A and B are shown apart, each in its own frame.
Chain A
């Protein structure tokens, strides 16, 4: 049984006809060809599929597309503005905060949501916000440094 679902993804409106129980992740990746959000575990335990749903981080592998009808979704592809990277993206480059890069989109979006709420997070706040995201390459220290660097950049801009 399919249903029409309205999604605003990275500012673009879509009407998706799909089984409402289908995961948001598979709709983003297969129907909208936005493959930045990754499959990592299918149970919301690794954070690789993280996207922003109305600005809050959500695990798109366990979010049914029918449950986000009418909501605004931001994926990693939507962070760059006119060729300018988001400060978190830039900070990941500056700190070399990745190895294989598979967890990177989920890390960046989780960090963006944190910094939207708290522009001056302590290290413990960063670790708490990101603890649900797995980096098997183990770049954790660098990622924390990147988020701090991005926070500074955002504060300077403000």
Chain B
């Protein structure tokens, strides 16, 4: 196993740049970020993980920009606990606002160091030298040296300050362009090795015995038949039981041959939970208050109360959780599809009583995650099997396991009571979110009297993070409610929002979306409807217009226009790709995704029983980018999906006059 130090040795001589801890906001140890070898190959070390959001590309653009190096001279070493600096994980759209500036700063420092080296070599003032395309150039003397030549024969180390100026977005030449996806050819040729594709010499295939329901206890296990199969080992440790075999087919046969007796306690169904959700939540925790609700309602001409609900849904990443674990000489290495390699390393170290230095987690670019792979239990299970088998073991969860033993986006109930004057001014806004979460729970519109509370709950299903977390839920409730208020007032939905909106960037997003959609200038055809929604989340502003066509109880989303402002755009094409993809994913939760469970069993744990969006569901999607070069860059993995469901629901109302307040929004006959 190659450690970080050996890796640098293998790279040969070069320049390493270390960043001083000038960025207290970054929860990272001081470490090396950038290495340049004698041939000019730039290695960038970053603990983030690539799962399709194209950060391998956008981070490389940021580094190439500041380093003034051709982007194809870079390679990104990511998600490897032995090689990359500590990172808390790839989630919450934090890569672009936090990791990109960190890497830019390191790259700028490296650039200055290289210039100083050349200046020293030529005995000139550094300010007389320019840096372009991987070379230090002295225009006056007509001399130049490549980064690689400057690193010649020496291993240099410098601690740098983080105050080297960065190139402003208006002057970007590499960042800000639609650079193609890093390594795209590997994906279209099948050569990219995903976590589930990885293998090791002498590797066995593992399977884990799953109980028929959650919260089960393994009472007895008869493994005699399984053990008699060639090459099969059976492992039991308390309630954990699994098998290893030479191939996955043999492992499945061995698993099928186990005779297990389980005991489980009766459990609440999802239906019963949703019916009594409010009673199962704790008292509200205040998120925001302003003025007094009673006063705001007294000042209102119109009062509206409504409740909105949403179902449990699954991430269903196309690549299920997978891991290969290898335990050699007391060191554990796991190749796995997680987005939190350091968290997994720490957990594995704790569980296997190993020092952290003896656990290495490596994350090959993952087959999507949607915030569902921040913890990967397959890594732990594979390690348990590998330890028992004394050989490397691969474990790939089945789709049913993925649908059952991962976790779910929390179901929730959101109650809103609003007060509005006849002129459209909001006077009161009271919102209670039960169980779903606090993201984007705040009110982006002006309302002088507010009370916003979150009521945590306990669900019968394991619930946790999901792409955009609770923002989708809170956007849905708020933007649906505002549509209802506008309808009751007889006001246009956009006009009503703008009437109550001061935030200039959010106003601009609404106006951009409306302009491209031709809101107010076109009338929907028969059976069609238009809807609008928007908001602010994770540093970005979003507004979405939707057109739907309703036939009987079928809703077809015809067209989506989303205007998006996440500051200075790093890669316009990939940003559009994220907006389009987030829109499609959001459409599933809006219209048909819902996990059903009874007595500890998932009733629809397969793609044939859990409907996700397909080609025929995808609308025409137009992403309108508002490129604010004067603003810092924020992410786009999550916020573009937030306004989709309410825009669709509002469009359904506009089409047929039926208000749907539950996600998924299903029309009854």
How close is A25's CB to chain B, nearest CB, in angstroms? 9
Cα A130 to Cα B53 with chains together (Å): 23
Tell me if B188 and A89 are in contact (CB < 8 A). Answer: yes
Tell me, yes or no, whether B181 is within 8 Å of chain A by CB.
Answer: yes
Chain B 369-413 interface 0/1 with A at a Cβ cutoff of 8 Å (1 = within): 010000000000000000000000000101110000000000000
Cα A34 to Cα B180 with chains together (Å): 26
A106 nearest in chain B by CB position: B318
Q: How many A-B residue pairs have CB under 8 A?
A: 173
Tell me if B606 and A99 are in contact (CB < 8 A). Answer: no
Chain A 29-62 interface 0/1 with B at a Cβ cutoff of 8 Å (1 = within): 1110111111111110110100000000000000
Tell me if B184 and A100 are in contact (CB < 8 A). Answer: no
User: For residue A142, which residues in chain B have a CB less than 8 angstroms away from its CB?
Assistant: 577, 580
Tell me, yes or no, whether A66 is within 8 Å of chain B by CB.
Answer: no
Tell me if A89 and B318 are in contact (CB < 8 A). Answer: no
Q: Which listed residue (B52, B367, B585) contacts A38, Cβ 8 A?
A: B367
Tell me if B189 and A102 are in contact (CB < 8 A). Answer: no
Tell me if B606 and A43 are in contact (CB < 8 A). Answer: yes
Tell me, yes or no, whether A11 is within 8 Å of chain B by CB.
Answer: no
Tell me if B607 and A41 are in contact (CB < 8 A). Answer: yes
One of B4-12, B192-200, B349-357 at the interface: B192-200
Q: Which listed residue (A45, A80, A101, A103) contacts B607, Cβ 8 A?
A: A45
Cα A48 to Cα B607 with chains together (Å): 12
One of B63-71, B608-616, B651-659 at the interface: B608-616
Tell me if A137 and B615 are in contact (CB < 8 A). Answer: no
Tell me, yes or no, whether A152 is within 8 Å of chain B by CB.
Answer: no
How close is B160's CB to chain A, nearest CB, in angstroms? 34
Tell me, yes or no, whether B621 is within 8 Å of chain A by CB.
Answer: yes
Cα A134 to Cα B399 with chains together (Å): 13
Chain A 12-28 interface 0/1 with B at a Cβ cutoff of 8 Å (1 = within): 00000011001100100
B317 nearest in chain A by CB position: A136
Tell me if B318 and A100 are in contact (CB < 8 A). Answer: yes
How close is A64's CB to chain B, nearest CB, in angstroms? 10
User: For residue A33, which residues in chain B have a CB less than 8 angstroms away from its CB?
Assistant: 199
Q: Which listed residue (B318, B366, B584, B621) contacts A40, Cβ 8 A?
A: B318
How close is A81's CB to chain B, nearest CB, in angstroms? 11
User: For residue A117, which residues in chain B have a CB less than 8 angstroms away from its CB?
Assistant: none
| Chain A interface residues (CB < 8 Å from chain B) | 18-19, 22-23, 26, 29-31, 33-43, 45-46, 48, 75-77, 79-80, 85, 89-90, 92-93, 96, 98-105, 108, 126-127, 130-144
Q: Which listed residue (A19, A42, A137, A141) contacts B399, Cβ 8 A?
A: A42
**Given A43-B399, A93-B184, A127-B615, are A26 and B248 also a contact pair (CB < 8 Å)?**
yes
**Given A93-B185, A99-B368, A101-B192, are A43 and B608 also a contact pair (CB < 8 Å)?**
yes
Q: Which listed residue (B180, B194, B247, B400) contacts A26, Cβ 8 A?
A: B247
User: For residue B181, which residues in chain A have a CB less than 8 angstroms away from its CB?
Assistant: 96, 98
Tell me, yes or no, whether B316 is within 8 Å of chain A by CB.
Answer: yes
User: For residue A130, which residues in chain B have a CB less than 8 angstroms away from its CB?
Assistant: 615
Tell me if A144 and B615 are in contact (CB < 8 A). Answer: yes
User: For residue A34, which residues in chain B have a CB less than 8 angstroms away from its CB?
Assistant: 190
Tell me if B398 and A42 are in contact (CB < 8 A). Answer: yes
How close is A49's CB to chain B, nearest CB, in angstroms? 11
Tell me if A93 and B194 are in contact (CB < 8 A). Answer: no
**Given A96-B574, A100-B51, are A45 and B367 also a contact pair (CB < 8 Å)?**
no
Cα A142 to Cα B192 with chains together (Å): 20
How close is A110's CB to chain B, nearest CB, in angstroms? 11
Tell me, yes or no, whether B668 is within 8 Å of chain A by CB.
Answer: no
**Given A35-B190, A93-B185, A127-B616, are A103 and B318 also a contact pair (CB < 8 Å)?**
yes
B199, B366, B581, B585, most chain A CB atoms within 10 A = B581
Tell me, yes or no, whether B432 is within 8 Å of chain A by CB.
Answer: no
User: For residue B469, which residues in chain A have a CB less than 8 angstroms away from its CB?
Assistant: none
Cα A41 to Cα B318 with chains together (Å): 8
Cα A48 to Cα B399 with chains together (Å): 12
User: For residue B365, which residues in chain A have a CB less than 8 angstroms away from its CB?
Assistant: 100-101
User: For residue B185, which residues in chain A have a CB less than 8 angstroms away from its CB?
Assistant: 85, 93
User: For residue B620, which residues in chain A have a CB less than 8 angstroms away from its CB?
Assistant: 141
**Given A42-B399, A46-B318, A98-B188, are A138 and B608 also a contact pair (CB < 8 Å)?**
no
Cα A31 to Cα B192 with chains together (Å): 18
Chain B 509-528 interface 0/1 with A at a Cβ cutoff of 8 Å (1 = within): 00000000000000000000
Cα A89 to Cα B571 with chains together (Å): 22
Tell me if B318 and A139 are in contact (CB < 8 A). Answer: no
8 pairs of A and B residues whose beta carbons are closest in the complex: A36-B190, A138-B584, A100-B52, A102-B367, A101-B187, A99-B52, A76-B190, A138-B581
User: For residue B54, which residues in chain A have a CB less than 8 angstroms away from its CB?
Assistant: 99
How close is A95's CB to chain B, nearest CB, in angstroms? 10
Tell me if A35 and B197 are in contact (CB < 8 A). Answer: yes
Cα A134 to Cα B367 with chains together (Å): 13
Q: Which listed residue (A46, A96, A131, A144) contacts B180, Cβ 8 A?
A: A96
How close is B6's CB to chain A, nearest CB, in angstroms? 27
